[in-house]
Amino acid sequence: MARKFTPKVITANALLGGDAVWLTEDDRWTRDIREAELITDEAHGDLRLLEAQARAHEIAGAYLADAVAGRNGPEPTHFREAFRTRGPSNYTHGKQAELS
């Protein structure tokens, strides 16, 4: 029996900066998961992932990540994805610098 499709977001790493990014409904890459398109249909998710992967001049390693609808937009459901929303872990720059 096939598993039920759970909501997803498309995530990747920005090619030039290396930051984790998420695909928005209007085809922008954002560094804020709360702006990401929350995909609830498997076929739509597969299509969007193919479109994202075709943008290899902008990103690397696009994939579908589990998410849930939160109060302010999509939220990650796994530790790895939650960790990626906080930015690099080796020193303060990127998203971490903006929070300081």
> What's the mean pLDDT when you consider all of the chain?
90
What band does 95 get if pLDDT is binned at 50, 70 and 90?
A: low
Query: What confidence category does residue 91 fall into, taking pLDDT thresholds of 50, 70 and 90?
Result: low
pLDDT in tens, 3-15: 899 999 999 999 9
- Report, as an integer, the average pLDDT of 38-58: 97
pLDDT at site 2: 75
- The domains of the chain are located at 8-99
CA R_g for the chain: 13
Counting Cα atoms < 13 Å in the Cβ hemisphere of 73 gives 12
With a CB cutoff of 8 Å and minimum separation 6, the contacts of 64 are 8, 9, 10, 39, 45, 49
